[in-house]
């Protein structure tokens, strides 16, 4: 009992530590980019701009409600990166109490309208034709960098000014959202001494906690999982020319996982995208056999009723599917193939044209799991798609020219429970992947090879066997 209490205390302590470190990162960004924003308590200047429907909208129209005011542009990568967080905030907020108002500095009105509609952006969308540098509104609100976000109270006064959407989310939840850097206060001798002492205490605590974290990481779950993975018997079987497939059931993340994998050298085989929407859709196995493959996995997201893709799909230079706004919360990358080389590219919809010009085969999916051997995000969203365990499919590459196609079974307690997105990224790292992209999962997840048929355990028939495939409109084949 005493050990359990100590463990619980340690977990609580580490949670506070890492939350604090994360907040320091947010504060550092604000310290760099938010110092010119209006200070908390300031009354916000009124302004009037047109929304995308052509209506005049004033910020004063929202008095009586908390306002999340966002300055952004569709051409800004950092702004686009905050869209999933903003969508989650909007979905969680009570519209009677909280209004979301965005001011865009896009150069063209039509560009803004198209982006908003394609990506289903929430809230009131306003257009400032002056652009960021010439904008009177930006000048009055101290906006030098975008995105810039404010939380404005119902009386029209600033509660928070920041460049980090996560701090807005904390503010809306009533949690501490870190420091405000929207004002500079002179530092007296006494206050400077106090701040200096506080900084020294933080340094000591961080030094101690860093050593403690290193000790924990040396022998705790992550290392144990890595050891289990390294000792697993994958029962590798040849596919020819050095390619092979295997599978293993093992205990990872304090759960039972069943993982199937195909790996091959890119110079010896080629990955291709097979696009077969609507009436041409079929199981991964049937499509793979139809296209003379030695191995295959299911592809990207699609509409279950129409069997049309809901993401970009380009097959042999023919571009069919496009990424819908409903997929933006998870689709942030493209698997692209040129000759024999597979590339995982982190991007948004504005970069598709350039990618498809250079690559005949391209498929948008997501999220990107790994870039240069590291998890693609410092923190994954907490929604069910990310945080719950599901069957997963992914594709990845190593620095020495190997391509991996991987399926993690799911929804079979005691046999193959599935993984969160973070756990999926961890498995990609255990395989030694440099870059990795998550594909469609759930009941679609299927790995097939020509010698053995379906190796994974598709969930669509709710049985832990090899017969539960569903029809899909695209797959990735090796041939």
**Average pLDDT of the segment spanning 78-84:** 89
In this structure, are residues 264 and 402 in contact, taking their beta carbons and an 8 Å threshold? Answer: yes
35 CB-contact burial (10 Å; exposed 0-12 / middle 13-18 / buried 19+): middle
463/16 Cα distance (integer angstroms): 42
Strand order in the sheet with 474-478: 271-275, 474-478, 295-298, 447-449, 453-454
Give a yes or no: residue 218 inside a domain.
no
Report how far residue 247's alpha carbon sits from residue 232's, in angstroms, rounded to the nearest whole number.
9
What does the pLDDT average to over 170-184? 66
Q: Look at residue 256 and tell me whether its pLDDT is greater than 70.
A: yes
Task: Give the total number of structural domains in the chain.
Answer: 2
pTM of the model: 0.60
* Closest alpha carbon to 378 in 175, 81, 33: 81
Last residue of a domain, one of 139, 172, 205: 172
pLDDT band of 92, cuts 50, 70, 90 = confident
Quick check: 420 pLDDT over 80?
Answer: yes
Query: Do residues 63 and 156 lie in contact, with contact meaning Cβ atoms separated by under 8 Å?
Result: yes
Answer yes or no: is 281 within a domain.
yes
Distance (Å, whole) CA 243 – CA 265 = 7
Share of the chain above pLDDT 70, in %: 86
- In this predicted structure, what is the pLDDT of residue 126? 96
Which position has the token pair 């910020």?
Answer: 59
Give the count of beta carbons closer than 10 Å to the beta carbon of residue 113: 16
For residue 56, give the CATH number of its domain.
Answer: 3.40.30.10
**Do both 151 and 286 map to the same domain?**
no
Pairing between β-strand 271-275 and β-strand 255-265 as defined by DSSP bridges: unpaired
Domain identity same for 244 and 165: no
pLDDT > 90 fraction of the chain, expressed in percent and rounded: 66
86-106 as b/e: b if 16+ CB within 10 A: bbbbbeebeeeebbbbbbbbb
Q: Are residues 283 and 423 in the same domain?
A: yes
Q: From CA 100, how far away is CA 70, in angstroms rounded? A: 8
Tell me, what's the pLDDT at 335? 96
Q: Is the domain of 158 the same as that of 243? A: no
Q: End of a domain among 172, 197, 226?
A: 172
pLDDT in tens, 195-222: 444 444 554 454 455 555 545 444 577 8
What DSSP designation does 350 have?
Answer: G
- Is 61 contained in some domain? yes
Instruction: Assess whether pLDDT exceeds 70 at residue 182.
Output: no
pLDDT score recorded for residue 221: 76
Domain that holds residue 415: 239-478
User: Do 264 and 118 belong together in one domain?
Assistant: no
> Band of the pLDDT at 155, cuts 50, 70, 90?
very high
Q: What is the pLDDT of residue 22?
A: 53
Distance in angstroms between the alpha carbons of the first and the last residue of the chain: 57
Q: Are 44 and 163 part of one and the same domain?
A: yes
The residue that leads in pLDDT, 259 or 115, is 259
Dump pLDDT digits (tens) for 14-54: 445 444 555 566 778 888 888 899 999 999 999 999 999 88
Residue 6 structure tokens? 């100590």
Mean pLDDT of all residues in 304-308: 93
* Structure confidence at residue 189 (pLDDT): 38
Q: Is 251 found in the same domain as 158? A: no
Q: Which two tokens stand for residue 61?
A: 């129209």
Answer for the pair 260, 236: CB distance below 8 angstroms, yes or no: no
Residue 323: how many CA atoms within 13 Å on its side-chain side?
A: 25
pLDDT in the model for residue 31: 85
Q: CA-CA distance, 22 to 31, in Å (whole number)?
A: 14
Inside any domain, residue 10: no
CA distance linking residue 236 with residue 247, whole number of Å: 7
Does residue 453 surpass a pLDDT of 70?
yes
For 426-450, the pLDDT digits (tens) are 999 999 999 999 999 999 999 999 9
- Given 172, 199, 227, the domain boundary residue is 172
Give yes or no for a contact between 282 and 257, defined as CB atoms under 8 angstroms apart: no
pLDDT beyond 50 at 194 = no
pLDDT mean across residues, the chain? 86
Check pLDDT > 80 for residue 165: yes
Per-residue pLDDT at 69 exceeds 80: yes
When mean pLDDT is compared over 8-17, 182-191, 341-350, the highest value belongs to 341-350
Indicate whether 184 pLDDT > 90: no
In angstroms, the Cα distances linking 95 to 62, 98, 160, 390 are 11, 5, 19, 32
Positive or negative: CA dihedral 10, 21, 72, 372: negative
């Amino acid at each position: 009992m005493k050990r359990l209490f100590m463990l619980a205390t340690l977990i609580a302590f580490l949670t506070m530590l890492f939350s604090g470190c994360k907040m320091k990162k947010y504060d550092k960004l604000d310290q760099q980019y938010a110092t010119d924003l209006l200070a908390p308590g300031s009354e916000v200047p009124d302004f009037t701009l047109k929304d995308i429907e052509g209506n005049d909208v004033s910020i004063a129209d929202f008095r009586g409600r908390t306002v999340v005011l966002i300055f952004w542009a569709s051409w800004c990568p950092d702004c686009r990166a905050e869209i999933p967080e903003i969508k989650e905030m909007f979905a969680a907020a009570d519209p009677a109490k909280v209004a979301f108002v965005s001011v865009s500095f896009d150069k063209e009105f039509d560009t803004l309208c198209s982006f908003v509609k394609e990506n289903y952006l929430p809230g009131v969308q306003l257009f400032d034709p002056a652009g960021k540098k010439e904008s009177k509104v930006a000048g009055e609100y101290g906006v030098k960098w975008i995105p810039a976000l404010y939380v404005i109270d119902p009386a029209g006064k600033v509660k928070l000014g920041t460049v980090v959407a996560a701090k807005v989310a904390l503010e809306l939840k009533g949690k501490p959202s870190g420091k405000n850097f929207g004002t500079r206060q002179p530092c007296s001798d006494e206050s400077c001494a106090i701040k200096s002492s506080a900084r020294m205490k933080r340094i000591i605590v961080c030094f101690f906690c860093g050593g403690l974290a290193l000790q924990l990481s040396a022998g705790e779950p992550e290392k144990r999982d890595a050891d289990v993975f390294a000792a697993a018997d994958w029962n590798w079987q040849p596919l020819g020319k050095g390619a092979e497939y295997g599978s293993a059931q093992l205990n990872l993340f304090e759960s039972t996982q069943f993982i199937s994998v195909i790996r091959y050298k890119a110079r010896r085989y080629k990955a291709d995208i097979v696009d077969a929407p609507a009436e041409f859709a079929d199981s991964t196995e049937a499509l793979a056999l139809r296209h003379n493959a030695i191995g295959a996995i299911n592809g990207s997201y699609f509409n279950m009723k129409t069997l049309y893709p809901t993401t970009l799909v380009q097959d042999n230079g023919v571009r069919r599917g496009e990424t819908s706004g409903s997929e933006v919360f998870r689709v942030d990358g493209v698997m692209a193939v040129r000759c024999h080389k597979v590339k995982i590219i982190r991007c948004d919809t504005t970069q598709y044209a350039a990618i498809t010009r250079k690559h005949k085969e391209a498929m948008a999916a997501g999220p990107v799991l790994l870039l240069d051997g590291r998890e693609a995000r410092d923190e994954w969203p907490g929604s069910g798609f990310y945080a719950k365990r599901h069957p997963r499919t992914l594709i990845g590459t190593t620095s020495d020219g190997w391509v991996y196609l991987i399926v993690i079974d799911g929804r079979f307690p005691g046999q193959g429970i599935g993984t969160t997105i973070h756990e999926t990224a961890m498995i990609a790292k255990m395989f030694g992947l440099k870059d990795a992209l998550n594909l469609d999962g759930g009941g679609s997840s299927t790995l097939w090879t020509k010698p053995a048929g379906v190796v994974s355990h598709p969930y669509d028939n709710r049985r832990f066997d090899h017969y539960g495939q569903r029809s899909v409109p695209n797959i990735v084949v090796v041939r």
